[in-house]
Amino acid sequence: MIDPLPELPKPEFGVVRLAAPPEVADGVAGALREAGVLRGLTRYEYRALAETELLEGRGSSGLVAFGRSGLLGRICVDVATGEVVHVPKAESARVTHVNADLQTFTRCVSAVIARFPFYREDEGAERFERVADELRGLIAGVDETALTHDGFWDGLCEDVALGDYADWGRDG
């Protein structure tokens, strides 16, 4: 018998304030400590880490991972630029753009959470695509750089367009 999948975490508006490693510049460290990051998005796209991780050798001064994406991925802030990026797994050299900075990342996550739940399964493919387009508009309205092809937000919107969020998160 196959074990059922664990219950998917619900979106969370709660803020987590994180300490950055000592070698991280004051601007990034201060933003993580003072403003913090949201606890999580929908499903497993993004969940805040309990502690930050310094991923050296990427970007000009390294990346500070503050969130998990999927099973192995990390959501990070570039120490030198403040840009938020996605790394498919901690040891990967591949880095893709997510948002211009931590503030716009938090605003995009908030906009998506506020729009959740998205639709019912019986609403069909046209509704799924309309909601995905609505999310694209919300995200681009916050950060016009966010919808990079095959990027974090583009992937979320594609999943929404496919109906992957039907009935999920609705009570009863």
Instruction: Provide the residue-wise pLDDT of the chain in tens; the chain has 172 residues.
Output: 566 655 655 666 788 899 988 888 888 899 999 998 888 887 678 899 999 999 887 666 789 999 999 888 999 999 989 999 999 987 888 899 999 999 999 999 999 988 888 888 889 899 999 999 999 999 999 999 999 998 999 999 999 999 988 765 554 3
DSSP assignment letter at 8: P
**Long-range contacts of range 18-26, CB-CB < 8 Å, 24 or more positions apart?**
18/48, 18/49, 18/51, 18/52, 18/66, 19/51, 19/52, 20/52, 20/54, 20/64, 21/52, 21/54, 21/64, 23/54, 23/62, 24/54, 24/62, 24/64, 24/79, 25/61, 25/79, 25/80
Burial class, 149, CB count within 10 angstroms (exposed 0-12 / middle 13-18 / buried 19+): exposed
For the chain, what are the domain ranges? 12-106, 118-161
Total-model pTM: 0.86
The shares of helix, strand and coil residues in the chain, as percent rounded to the nearest 5, are 35, 25, 45
Question: Which residue do the tokens 């990342």 mark?
Answer: 105
Q: Parallel, antiparallel, or unpaired: how do β-strands 12-16 and 37-40 relate?
A: antiparallel
User: Which token pair is 79?
Assistant: 């120490």
- Give dist(CA 144, CA 163) in Å, integer: 25
- Give dist(CA 136, CA 42) in Å, integer: 16
